[in-house]
Every structure is written in C-alpha cells, then in structure tokens.
Amino acid sequence: MTRDELDDILERMNEACATLGEPGGGPGLITVESGWWVAHLSGVRATCSALHDGLRYRDVQVHVGSSLETQVLSRDDAGERGAPYRDLTLRPIDAGSS
C-alpha cells in the first residue's frame, strides 16, 4: 500500500460511512507491518501530539508492528484500539506538486 492508496482507502471508507449514515464503517485504525512502514509509509507525515493520543495520520490512529498486517480497519473492526475516533482530516498536499 502506497500513501496514495492509503488516502484513497480512507476517502472511500469515509464517503461510504457518510452515505450510509453508519459511523462504525468509517476509518478506525491503520495497521502497518514495521518493515513496510520503514520502506514505504514512513513519509506520510504521521503526527503524535500526546502519548495518550498515539501516532495518527489524518486523525486516524496508526499502529506499527512486526506482526501486524498493513491494512485499514473500520471503527467497528478496530473496536477500542483506534479510539478516540475523530473526523477524517483533509488529504495532505504534496510539497512537490503544483
């Protein structure tokens, strides 16, 4: 999964959630295998404003670990692991794009 693919998945999940009116279907947790994170996704500019808030990309919590599968889970599938849930922030603009 590339950053563009990740953004597309997040957008689709968010749109489907809004269309169906089911908040549990929205993006809830991004899990990434640690090798994949280092090689492909570490440049997504994830932030951590506080330790209890965790690492987040577009306000969706990110878990990185060697035993994790690279995927995006819905809020229903993530359960408490992605909480507290927030609205998806806008897709970032690449500094190199015009």
* Identity at 22, one-letter amino acid code: E
Please report which helix (H) or strand (E) contains residue 35, including its range: helix 34-36
The torsion angle over the Cα atoms of residues 48, 54, 60 and 62, rounded to 10 degrees, is 100
- Is the bond into 23 cis (omega within 30 degrees of 0)? no
**Token duo for residue 78:** 């993530």
The chain-wide mean pLDDT, for the chain, equals 91
- What is the strand order of the sheet 60-65 is part of? 56-57, 60-65, 27-33, 71-74
The structure's pTM equals 0.89
**For residue 45, pLDDT beyond 50:** yes
Q: Is 98 a residue whose pLDDT tops 50?
A: no
Q: Is the pLDDT of residue 55 over 90?
A: yes
